[in-house]
Amino acid sequence: MSGRDFKAFVASARSSDEDTLAKKILLLGQGSMKYKPVNYEKLLQITERKKNNANRELQKLSEFKKKKLEHKDRNLLQKHQRFWVEYYHHLEKERKRLQIEVEIAWSDVSKNSAFANYSKETEELKTESAKSIKEFKDDYISPIYHLNANVKHCIEKLSNQSDNLNHSDLLEPLRKELIRIKLQAKETSQSLQHEQEMIQLELKMPSESAEAPDVKNQYSDIGIPEEAMLMEWPNKSLKEAILQEFLSLDNQYKERLNQLKEQHQQILKSRLGDWSEENHLQFVMLREQYPTTMRNRRKLLLDRIKRQLPTISVLEFDKHERWWIEYNWYHERRTELLHSWSRSRNELLIKSKALLADAWSNNEVIKAKEVAIRQQERLCQELHQKVTIWREQKLELLKLEEEMATKLRENEAAKLAAEVEQEQRKRLAAKDKVTAYKKDLEKKRREQEEADKMRLTELRKILAEQAVKDKARIEYRKEEHRKKIEDRRLAKEEVIRQEIEKEARLDRLRQKVEVHVENDPLRLLQPTEAYNAKTAYAQQESELQDPIFSVYGYTDDKILSDPRYKVEAALRTAGLLKSDYARMVLSTVTPLQPPRPDQETTMFHPSFKSI
């Protein structure tokens, strides 16, 4: 292997020994006898080992993802738990506050003699309830505790007795008692469930009809108040104007209430927004647990809804939430209008009383002085003008309140829409990122396939050209070798001919000086028995030490002693084999013996393309 070939080998080295060996074979030409056949079983084992390592890495990655999801779920549950505890403490405080208020109100009611009978009935109900609870414990709870004690006693007795005894006498009473308690518990559960349904129905009926008295009472105080009708006015026109003001105020509020009801007619069709009562109550409770001021409120609320109400989708939740906001806004606005109506009527009545006092004082002055009749009329007109101005101011105030309420409602709706839109944008952005990542992977895979195909085509072309050149060189080498063998053969024949001529001349000389005496030269040249035994043993030992096959390539010791191999192994161990530093170092390392000039390759000549 020449220096250039070694540089090319280092530049195209792979991460594994199998790839390096294949690359050497490609560089030195096909059909080379310097390398052993490929061990495909070993390659399969290496491939299987790499597959197993990759599968283990994928399994670790999946476990990591699973642990990450579990950690995220655990964090969400901790947040839910923290808010639930805060809400629980809030409800506990409200319960104590209401209990204190009920006790104070009950103490005030019990002091009143008018409610003495009611107080007595309540005490009787409490006593009867405590008695019922005690009877329930004695009849249903105590037998269960007794049965538990009997079972434990029976188990202890059975463990102390031998196994060959018959235990049916001990177990049969317990079995009968257990069957009786089961039947009794079933009947009790059914009766309690029926009683619970009846109580819930009784409690629900007043709540469903609670709105009717409000609707009825909202028009009970309309019209001209009886107190205003009984007032004696000195001026009939002023009385008519004041009374007409009451009717005008009622008509205005009636119109506004009817208009509010028409605007929310679609919402008022369903009392619970087409949800069941249980789901609606859970929705209201969860919405109260998560205040609007907290961060990530909507994310936590949606997660809690999915856990507690898995049958409810996100769209249904958004629709019901919008309905609930509109429903609450309608009732709040309606309550505000009713309070404002009552407040305006009271203010108008107080104003009428003040006007009546002023009118009577002025009337007394007029009666005392007949001359001041015109002044009285002027005062009445001024009073009428004041009432008109007050009415205009009141109308303007009501209009401003309605505009502010409408703006507040629009802000709430815009805020909710912004939250929903932001959530949708996040989902779309995540989806776009995943799609772009998949497209990028597919594009890279196609580019790699195209590059591999072009590389394979180029290698095949270069190897085909090199094979043609190698074939011409082999034919040339064969011809040169044949000529060399022929020259050697002719030279050997010439030497043999000269030897024959020499021997002929020596024979002629021997014949001239030959002694005609009988001799035995073979006897002198024959080996002895000891020499024959010694040479036979040495020949046998040398045959055993000879290699089985002839070696035409490089041995392991020769390859391992090459400094280029040692430097390459050190760089591979350090992980620097594919760096520019490794290429620079390997280009300066020389072999133990310089390559022969006739072995210099032209494969990497500038006239050829580099691989």
Query: Can you list the pairs that 450-455 forms with residues at least 24 positions away whose Cβ atoms lie under 8 Å?
Result: none
What is d(CA 222, CA 432) in angstroms, rounded to the nearest whole number? 62
Determine the length of the chain: 611
Query: Per the structure block, which two tokens stand in for 575?
Result: 């992980």
> By CB neighbour count within 10 A (0-12 exposed, 13-18 middle, 19+ buried), where does 276 fall?
exposed
For residue 112, the model assigns a pLDDT of: 61
Q: What angle do CA 18, 24, 27 make, to 5 degrees?
A: 145
Query: Can you list the pairs that 167-173 forms with residues at least 24 positions away whose Cβ atoms lie under 8 Å?
Result: none
Query: Can you list the pairs that 368-371 forms with residues at least 24 positions away whose Cβ atoms lie under 8 Å?
Result: none
* 2 or 405, greater pLDDT: 405
pLDDT tens digits, 401-442: 888 888 888 888 888 888 888 888 888 888 888 888 888 888
Closest CA to 27 of 10, 44, 41: 10
What is d(CA 611, CA 609) in angstroms, rounded to the nearest whole number? 6
For residues 440-445, give the mean pLDDT: 88
Closest CA to 289 of 76, 82, 47, 7: 82
Residue 605 has pLDDT above 70, yes or no: no
Out of 84-98, 145-159, 476-490, 581-595, the most confident range is: 476-490
* Residue written as token pair 């009445």: 380
Query: Per the structure block, which two tokens stand in for 289?
Result: 């647990």
Cα dihedral sign, 500-501-506-508: positive
Query: Can you list the pairs that 305-311 forms with residues at least 24 positions away whose Cβ atoms lie under 8 Å?
Result: 308/282, 309/279, 309/282, 309/283
pLDDT tens digits, 305-320: 777 777 878 787 788 8
What Rg, from alpha-carbon coordinates, does the chain have?
A: 57
Least confident of 26-30, 260-264, 541-545: 26-30
> By CB neighbour count within 10 A (0-12 exposed, 13-18 middle, 19+ buried), where does 282 fall?
middle
Out of 42-51, 525-534, 589-598, the most confident range is: 42-51
Percentage of the residues of the chain whose pLDDT score is greater than 70: 78
What is d(CA 16, CA 142) in angstroms, rounded to the nearest whole number? 80
Least confident of 119-128, 216-225, 349-358, 454-463: 216-225
The 3-class secondary structure across 569-589, one letter per residue, is HHHHHHCCCCCHHHHHHHHHC
What is d(CA 223, CA 341) in angstroms, rounded to the nearest whole number? 12
* Mean pLDDT over the full length of the chain: 76
What is d(CA 422, CA 410) in angstroms, rounded to the nearest whole number? 18
For residue 420, the model assigns a pLDDT of: 85
Least confident of 115-129, 136-150, 389-403: 115-129
For residue 180, the model assigns a pLDDT of: 80
For residue 558, the model assigns a pLDDT of: 83
Residue 208 has pLDDT above 60, yes or no: no
What is d(CA 495, CA 497) in angstroms, rounded to the nearest whole number? 5
What is d(CA 288, CA 283) in angstroms, rounded to the nearest whole number? 9
What is d(CA 606, CA 404) in angstroms, rounded to the nearest whole number? 87
CB 2 within 8 A of CB 575: no
For residues 482-498, give the mean pLDDT: 91
What is d(CA 164, CA 309) in angstroms, rounded to the nearest whole number? 56
Closest CA to 410 of 399, 422, 418, 420: 418
Residue 16 has pLDDT above 50, yes or no: no
For residue 135, give the 3-state DSSP assignment. helix
Closest CA to 80 of 360, 301, 276: 301
* Residue written as token pair 């030959």: 514
DSSP single-letter state for residue 579: S
Query: Per the structure block, which two tokens stand in for 195?
Result: 């009683």
CB 80 within 8 A of CB 308: no
For residue 220, the model assigns a pLDDT of: 46
pLDDT band at 238 (very low <50, low <70, confident <90, very high): confident
DSSP single-letter state for residue 224: S
What is d(CA 87, CA 301) in angstroms, rounded to the nearest whole number? 14
What is d(CA 67, CA 89) in angstroms, rounded to the nearest whole number? 33
Give how far the C-alpha of residue 339 lies from the chain's centroid of Cα atoms, to the nearest Å. 50
For residue 533, the model assigns a pLDDT of: 82
Between the two ends of the chain, the Cα-to-Cα distance in Å is: 18
For residue 234, give the 3-state DSSP assignment. coil
Cα dihedral sign, 419-421-424-429: negative
CB 326 within 8 A of CB 264: yes
Residue 304 has pLDDT above 70, yes or no: yes
pLDDT tens digits, 268-299: 777 777 777 777 777 777 777 777 777 777 77
What is d(CA 413, CA 329) in angstroms, rounded to the nearest whole number? 11
pTM of the model: 0.39
For residue 350, give the 3-state DSSP assignment. helix
What is d(CA 336, CA 318) in angstroms, rounded to the nearest whole number? 27
Residue 209 has pLDDT above 50, yes or no: no
Per-residue burial over 403-425, b = 16 or more CB atoms within 10 Å of its CB, e = otherwise = eebeeebeebeeeeeeebeeeee
What is d(CA 78, CA 304) in angstroms, rounded to the nearest whole number? 12
What is d(CA 366, CA 376) in angstroms, rounded to the nearest whole number? 7
Roughly what angle, to the nearest 10 degrees, separates helices 40-111 and 17-28?
Answer: 140
Closest CA to 395 of 465, 463, 348: 348
pLDDT tens digits, 39-93: 788 888 888 888 888 888 888 888 888 888 888 878 777 777 777 788 788 888 8
